[in-house]
């Protein structure tokens, strides 16, 4: 196992770190509650918060940090594998901190590709807000180390982006919100993809080159969606839509790679892996995948509450609350994410034969 990890790290390092660089890898993380590490703690009015028990019960120190799980996020685990520390939340940093040169996490629970997604959380940082914050970071970097070094740093960094779940769960799939009433799925998907295209192009303009976009999982199988079914089963229609989203993003990324100079975008498709984990939990050492450890599956709510009664063994559950995987599941998903990145990376040019 240990050896396997080392091999993976070496491979990912070859793929992502420029050969000459001896400095450690810098990563910038964009996304939603699956990757947030505490930005929303700083948004006073936000209802998308997880800085109270029992969140973080299995995190280092056992305290809630603003991560939406009992332990580590997928990003934390990937950082561990890369041998770097998980980047701190953007809102915890001041523009003069040296830390901005070592990676930043912009992710915000409730955020989506569209500005209006997550409206009922009052405050959250949409993907547009997150890109704006990254632009501010770039300015601060220039002030600190000069334009050329800041450009180089941004060109060489790796950008992990995981967004879109809330555009479904906390927007399109909520019957009382405008987008679900106003658009057919085809129209909504068109809007998501064109907006995402502009956003990734904007990131490229700020200097992002190596971007890894994490596709959506089978959202129809998360406990909060199962709660809408008659017998607790997955919602097939939702899963179909999610797969259409993934397939369009894949095409978008191919187009962007062809048009944006020096871009190396990768689409990490983990849909099947997550579905397999949910359908065959015992194959991965889990016992339950159709309900949450916090036992909070309802159509509307779904975050773990201080008075929630926890399951007896958190490692037995794929889902921590009605939306988010447990630490144990994140370990499995991070493994898969990692190997997907490697299989999707541009392969080296074939050797000329003599």
Binding site for ligand NAG (CB under 6 A): 115, 128-129, 132, 232, 285, 290-291, 313, 315-316
Least Å distance, CB 281 to ligand NAG, is 10
Is 324 designated active site?
yes
Closest CA to 53 of 307, 338, 342: 307
- Taking the complex as a whole, how short is the minimal distance between the CB of residue 301 and ligand NAG, in angstroms? 15
- State the minimum distance, in angstroms, from the CB of residue 122 to ligand NAG: 15
Of 54, 204, 214, 324, which one is the catalytic site residue?
Answer: 324
User: DSSP assignment of 81-141, as one string?
Assistant: HHTSPPPPBGGG--TT-GGGGG-EE---TT--SSTTTTGGGS----HHHHHHHHHHHHHHH
Q: Is 306 exposed, middle or buried (0-12, 13-18, 19+ CB in 10 A)?
A: exposed
In the complex, minimum distance from the CB of residue 190 to ligand NAG, in angstroms, rounded to a whole number? 14
Judged on CB neighbours under 10 Å (0-12, 13-18, 19+), 82 is: buried
Per annotation, catalytic residue among 32, 167, 297, 321: 321
How many Å apart are CA 67 and CA 34, to the nearest integer? 8
Nearest CA to 311 out of 298, 323, 321, 299 is that of 321
Cβ-based nearer residue to ligand NAG, 156 or 321? 321
- Phi-psi category of residue 93: left, alpha or beta, with phi > 0 → left and psi -120 to 50 → alpha: beta
Q: How far is the CB of 229 from ligand NAG (least distance, A)?
A: 9
Catalytic residue among 32, 33, 86, 263: 33
Catalytic positions, written as ranges: 33, 321, 324
């Amino acid at each position: 196992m240990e050896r396997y990890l080392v091999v993976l790290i070496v491979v990912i390092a070859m793929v992502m770190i420029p050969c000459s660089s001896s400095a450690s890898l810098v990563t910038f993380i964009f996304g939603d509650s699956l990757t947030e590490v505490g930005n929303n703690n700083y948004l006073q009015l936000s209802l998308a918060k997880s800085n109270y028990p029992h969140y973080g019960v299995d995190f280092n120190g056992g305290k809630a940090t603003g991560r939406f799980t009992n332990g580590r996020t997928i990003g934390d685990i990937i950082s561990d594998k890369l041998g770097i520390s998980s980047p701190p939340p953007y809102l915890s940093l001041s523009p003069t901190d040296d830390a901005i040169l070592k990676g930043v996490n912009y992710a915000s629970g409730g955020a989506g590709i569209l500005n209006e997604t997550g409206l009922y959380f009052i405050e959250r940082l949409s993907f547009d807000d997150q890109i704006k914050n990254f632009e501010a970071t770039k300015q601060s970097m220039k002030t600190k180390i000069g334009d050329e070094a800041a450009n180089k740093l941004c060109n060489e960094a790796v950008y992990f982006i995981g967004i879109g779940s809330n555009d479904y769960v906390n927007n399109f799939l909520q019957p009382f919100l405008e987008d679900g009433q106003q658009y057919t799925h085809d129209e909504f998907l068109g809007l998501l993809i064109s907006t995402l295209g502009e956003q990734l192009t904007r990131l490229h303009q700020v200097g992002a080159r190596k971007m890894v976009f994490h596709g959506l999982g089978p959202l129809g199988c998360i406990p909060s969606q199962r709660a809408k079914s008659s017998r607790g089963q997955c919602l097939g229609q939702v899963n179909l839509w999610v797969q259409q989203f993934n397939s369009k993003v894949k095409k978008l990324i191919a187009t962007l790679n062809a048009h944006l100079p020096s871009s190396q975008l990768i689409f990490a498709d983990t849909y099947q892996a997550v579905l397999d984990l949910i359908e065959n939990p015992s194959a991965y050492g889990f016992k339950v995948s159709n309900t949450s450890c916090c036992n909070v599956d309802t159509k509307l709510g779904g975050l773990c509450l201080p008075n929630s009664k926890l399951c007896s063994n958190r490692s037995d559950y794929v889902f921590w609350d009605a939306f988010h995987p447990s630490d144990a599941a994140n370990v499995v998903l991070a493994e898969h994410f990692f190997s997907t990145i490697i299989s999707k990376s541009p392969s080296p040019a074939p050797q000329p034969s003599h």
